[in-house]
Structure 1
Amino acid sequence: MRRGSGLVKCHDRRNVPFMTIWPPRPGSLQRPAYRSLVQLIEAAIDSGELKPGQKLPTHRQLAFDLGLSVQTVSRAYDKLVEAGKVQGEVGRGTFVRALSDDLRVPFVSHRTAGRLIDMSILKPVVDHTHKEAFQKALRDIARSVPDAVLGAFRAGTLLDRDHGAVARWLALCGLTAPPSAVVPTNGGTAAMTVALMTAAHSGDLVVAEEIGHHTLRPLTRYLGLRLRGLETDKGGIRPEAFAAACRAEPVKVLHLMPTGLNPLGFTMSSRRREALVEIARRHDVLIVENHSSGPLHEAAPPPLAVLAPERVLFFTSLTKCVLPGLRIGFLVVPNHLGAAAANRHLVTSWMATSLAMEIALRWIETGTAERLLQRQRVALGDRADFAASVLSPVAHRISPSGLHAWLPCADVAQEDALAAAARDAGVAVARAGSFAIGAHDRHPGLRLALGGQSFPDFARGLRIVARLASEHPEAVVPQI
C-alpha cells in the first residue's frame, strides 16, 4: 500500500485498487479542521473502514499524528458523540458505536409482551367499541365491495371524494391543503420515510430533538443521511441550539415532534414554533413535522405547516388516535415538492393499501372516526389523571396527548436499573436510551405508555412502577 493525497491506495481480493480514507494523512484536512475530521471519520464509519466497536486513537495520539491541537480533536470527538457515531467510555477510550444500537426499539417483542404488563409500546386504548366499529365496516364493504378496493393498482392523485374526507381529517389537525399536496400513506412511518427522502439527499445533515423518534436514527443511516441531536428542554429544541447548528455547517432538515408525541412529553409553544421557523427560513432549512398523534390534543397550537407551508412537510395518521390496526396516514408537502414526494412514495410503497384506505375514508365521512377520536380523548384523559395521582411523589410529565407519561431518572445508570427492576416485577417500560439521538445524559428517564392495556392491567403496572420508585428514591427525581 502507498500513501498519497491524504488517502491510502489499497487492493481488494480481486486486486482492484480502491481508495481508503482511514487513517488520514497529516495536512490533508481542510479548515476548520475539527469539522473536516468529523466528516472524515463519519465517512470511514459509513464505508465500513472503521468497524462497529473499533477503538479510536486517543485525543492526544490523533492530535500528534495529524499535527492538530488536542482541543481540535476533542471538539471533533464531541461532535461525533452528539451525532451518535461514537461513544466514549470512561477509563477505556472512544469507540465506534455498534450498528446494533441503531436497531434497538423501545418496546418488547410480542412473545415477551405476553408475559408482562406492556407499558413500553405507544398505543391508544382499544375496547369493544373499536371492535364493533371495525366489524361493521367490514360487513358494509362485503355487501358491496368497491371496484377501487378490488382492482386498485394505480397510484394517483386524490379523487374528489377522497380529498373531501382527507381535508376533513386534516382540518381536525388544524391544517388545510390542496389535493396535489397530499400523499396518502400506510401510516406515519411510511410518511416519515417519504418525507425524508423528499427533503434530503445522501450526505445531508438532519437535526432533531436529542430525545426523539426511535426509528429516526436507523432510518437516516439507511438513507445515507447524517443525524445530529440538538439540545432540548421541556419546551422542545432550543432555538439557540438550532441556530448554532445552522451556523456551524449547512443543515438540510429539521425533524420535530412538537405536539405531545415526543417521549419527553412536551407540546411546543407557539412562540417556540415561530422562533424555529424564523431560523429555518434564515438558513433555508426544510422542516419535517411529525404529528402522528393526530388531533388528540385539542388545545395544541397551530402546526408549523400553517406557519411555513413553503418549507414544512407535515404528516399525521389515524393509528395513534383512532385504531392501531388502521395504518393510514397523510403526508402534506409544499407545492414545489408534490411531484417529488409522490415519486418517492411510488418507489417505496406504490400506494396506500386500498382496503385500509376505504375503511378510513368511510369512518371519516360518517363521523365514526371523530366519535372514536373523542372516545379516545376521554379514555386517555382518565388514565392521565390516574397516572398523575399515582406518580405524584416523584417528578413526572404527562403528555398533553395523554398517550404516555415521562418519568425522569437521576442518571443513565439509574434509568437502566429502574427499567430492569420494573421488568423483573412484570412491567415493560421504555428507556430514554431507545430514543436518544446521540448521548442522552441530559434526559435519563422512562416512558410509560398509558394505552394498550386494559385499565386494570394499566393501573397495576403503574402502581408497580410507582412502588419501585418509592423503594429506590435515588433512581428518580423527587417531586418539587
Structure 2
Amino acid sequence: MYGAETTAPIDMTRTWAPEVPAFREHVERSLLAAARAPDLASTIQRHRFHGSARDKQAAADWLSKRLGAPPTPTRLLVTGGTQNTLVVLFSRLAAEGAAIAAEKLTYAAIGQLAMLGRIRVLPVDIDEDGMCDDSLEALCKAHNLAAVYINPTGHNPTTSMMSLRRRQSLVRVARKYALPIIEDDVHGLITKNAPPPLASIAPDLTWYLMSVSKCLGIGLRTAYLIAPSDDSLADLLRPIPSVSSWFVPGLSAAIITYLIESGAASQIVGEISKEIAARQDIAQEMLGHLGVMHTNKSSLHVWIDLPSPWTAEPFIRAARLNGVSLRHPRVFATPGVNVEHNIRASLIAPTTHEDLRRGLSALADLLVSRT
C-alpha cells in the first residue's frame, strides 16, 4: 500500500495534453516570433475578436486534417475555448426552459453549462458504439429538442469510438427532425484511424468544435468553431457583437498560428500520440488481463468496469487509502442517470511512467481483492 500519510496521492482524475519532448522549444520559438511581430502591441492591447484572417486560414488548414478539406474561413471562428463557446451555442440555439440531448454519460461540464443557460439536458442511451440512434429518435418524438451534443470520437468518459455506420444513422435522425448537431471533436487529432466527423457527413446540420486542449495545451484557452453555413454564423453573432468572454486571447491565437504555419503543431501532435500510446501500453500491461478496461488505445484515460461487490464510492475511498486520487463517475452523468459501477482513470495526470505504473498497480490490486 502507498500510504497517503507519507506520500502525495497519484492523481488519476483529469486529462490534458501530456508534456512531450521539444514542446518547450517550439513554444519558446512561437513566443519569440510573437514578441518580434510588428503588431505585438495590438496583439496584447486589443481584441483579437474571433481570429484574424491569418488565424482563420491557419485554422482551416489545421482542421482539414480531420475534415478532409479546409472549411470555408467565413464559417469559422477562433474562440476562447470549448466551454465559452458552448455557453453561447446553448443560449442561442435553445431558449430558456428548452431541452437539448446528450449522451447519458458525457463531458462533465455539459450539465453545468446548461444550468447557466437554464436549459434541460435529456439523456440519450449509449452502447459500445456511442450514442444510440433509436434512443435519440425516441427523444425527438417525445420532445421538441433544440440541439443534440455529441462526442463521437474518443467518447468521454467511456472511450468508445463511434463507427461510420452509427454516425450516418444519427445524421439521418437529426436530418429527419431538423435537429442541430453540436459535435465535440476534442480528441479528433490525437485519435488513430478515427472515422470522419459528423461535420463532414452533415456539414449543413453540424456546429463543429475542436479545442486545442488535448492536442496542444489547455492553457492556450482556444477552440475552433465551424458553423453549418455563413448565414447561421451571422445569426449566431448578430445579437452579441460585444460579448468578449468567448473571444480568443490574442497571444494564444498568435502562438497557435505560428505553431501551425511552422509545422511545429503537427510535430507536437505526433509526439503526444506517441506518449499516449506508451501510456496505453502500460495500462494494457497492468490492467488488460483483468478484462475490466475499456479503451480505444488513443484515449487519455481508461474506463473501468468495477467488479461486484465494488461500487464507485467505496472504490474511490479505498484507492485514496492506497495513494490514488479518482473522480466519482457521477460527474459525467446527465440528470436522472445513475452510474456506480464504473471509474474513469486518467493515464496522463500521473507525472511519470513510474507514477502511472504505481497508480495502476494499486487499482489492479483493489480490483482483484474485491473488498
Residue of structure 1 in register with 2:141 after alignment:
247
Q: Contact conserved, 2:307 with 2:341, CA < 8 A, in 1?
A: yes
Aligned residue for 1:365? 261
Letter in 2 for 1:255: Y
Aligned to 1:454: 352
Matching residue of 2:159: 265
Q: What is the CA–CA distance in structure 1 between the aligned matches of 2:312 and 2:167, rounded to whole Å?
A: 30
> Aligned letter for 1:248?
A
Matching residue's letter, 1:437? T
**Alignment partner, residue 326 of structure 1:** 220
Picking from 221, 232, 236, the partner of 1:341 is 236
1:126 corresponds to? 19
Q: Which moved further from structure 2: 380-389 or 336-345? A: 336-345
Query: What is the root-mean-square deviation in Å for CA atoms of aligned residues?
Result: 2.1
Pick one of 360, 364, 371 that aligns with 1:466.
Answer: 364
* 2:252 matched residue in structure 1: 356
**Residue of structure 2 equivalent to 1:199:** 93
Alpha carbons 2:76, 2:225 under 8 Å: kept: yes
Counterpart check, 1:298 vs 2:192 = yes
Residue deviations 1:292-326 (CA, integer Å, cap 9, x gap): 12411131111101111111111001111122322
Contact 2:276 2:299 in 1 (8 A): yes
Pair 1:401-2:298 in alignment? yes
Corresponding residue for residue 61 of structure 1 = none
Q: Which residue of 2 aligns with 1:31?
A: none
Shift of 1:128: 4.9
Does 1:220 find its partner at 2:114?
yes
* Cα shift at 1:247: 0.9
Partner of 1:429: 326
Rounded Cα–Cα distance in structure 2 between residues aligned with 1:187 and 1:317: 6
Show the 5 A alignment for 1:25-424.
115-144=8-37, 146-147=39-40, 148-153=42-47, 155=49, 158-159=52-53, 161-174=54-67, 176-335=70-229, 336-343=231-238, 344=240, 346-349=242-245, 351-392=247-288, 393-410=290-307, 414-424=311-321
Ranges in structure 1 where 5+ consecutive residues have no aligned partner: 1-113, 475-480
Q: Contact between 2:64 and 2:71, CA under 8 Å: does it hold in 1?
A: no
Assess, with a 3 A threshold, how the Cα gap between structure 1 residues 412 and 360 changes in structure 2: closer, same or farther.
farther
Are residues 238 and 349 of structure 1, via their aligned partners in 2, closer, same or farther at CA, if it must alter by over 3 Å? same
Post-superposition CA distance 1:278-303 (Å, at most 9, x none): 11111111111011124111311111
For 2:33, the aligned partner's letter is D
Report the residue type matching 2:369 in the other structure: E
Q: Taking structure 1 as reference, are residues 345 and 450 closer, same or farther at Cα in structure 2, changes over 3 Å only?
A: farther
Q: In structure 2, do the counterparts of structure 1 residues 219 and 350 end up closer, same or farther at CA, with 3 Å as the change threshold?
A: closer
SS for the counterpart of 1:330 is: strand
Is the 2:82–2:209 Cα contact (8 Å) retained in structure 1? yes
Amino acid at match of 1:467: D
Question: In the alignment, what sits opposite 1:100?
Answer: none
Q: Name the amino acid aligned to 2:359.
A: G
Q: Secondary structure at the match of 1:320?
A: helix
Question: Mind listing any 5+ residue stretches in structure 2 that lack a counterpart?
Answer: 1-6
Amino acid across the alignment from 1:195 = L
Cα deviations by residue, 1:406-454 (Å, 9 ceiling, x for unpaired): 0012479611111111112111122321100134446731111111322
- Distance in 1 between residues matched to 2:73 and 2:180, nearest whole Å: 21
Displacement, 1:246?
Answer: 0.9
User: Are 2:106 and 2:157, in contact at CA under 8 Å, matched by a contact in 1?
Assistant: yes
Percent of residue pairs identical: 26
Measure, in 2, the Cα distance between the counterparts of 1:199 and 1:287: 10
**Separation of aligned partners in 1, 2:193 and 2:101:** 27
Distance 2:273 2:320 in 1: 29
Q: How far has the Cα of 1:167 moved from its partner?
A: 1.0
Q: What amino acid is aligned across from residue 337 of structure 1 in structure 2?
A: S
**CA distance in 2 between partners of 1:163 and 1:441 (Å):** 41
Cα distance between partner residues in 2 of 1:359 and 1:273:
34
| Deviation of the 1:156 alpha carbon | 5.6
Contact 1:313 1:332 in 2 (8 A): yes
Per the alignment, in what secondary structure is the counterpart of residue 218 of structure 2? coil
TM-score, normalization by structure 1: 0.71
| Preserved CA contact (<8 Å) 1:254 1:286 | yes
> In 2, Cα distance between the equivalents of 1:225 and 1:352?
25
**Deviation per CA, 1:31-58, whole angstroms, max 9, x where unpaired?**
xxxxxxxxxxxxxxxxxxxxxxxxxxxx
**What is the CA–CA distance in structure 1 between the aligned matches of 2:296 and 2:241, rounded to whole Å?**
31
C-alpha distance in structure 1 between counterparts of 2:339 and 2:309, whole Å: 9
Amino acid in structure 1 at the alignment position of 2:77: V
Normalising by structure 2, we get a TM-score of: 0.90
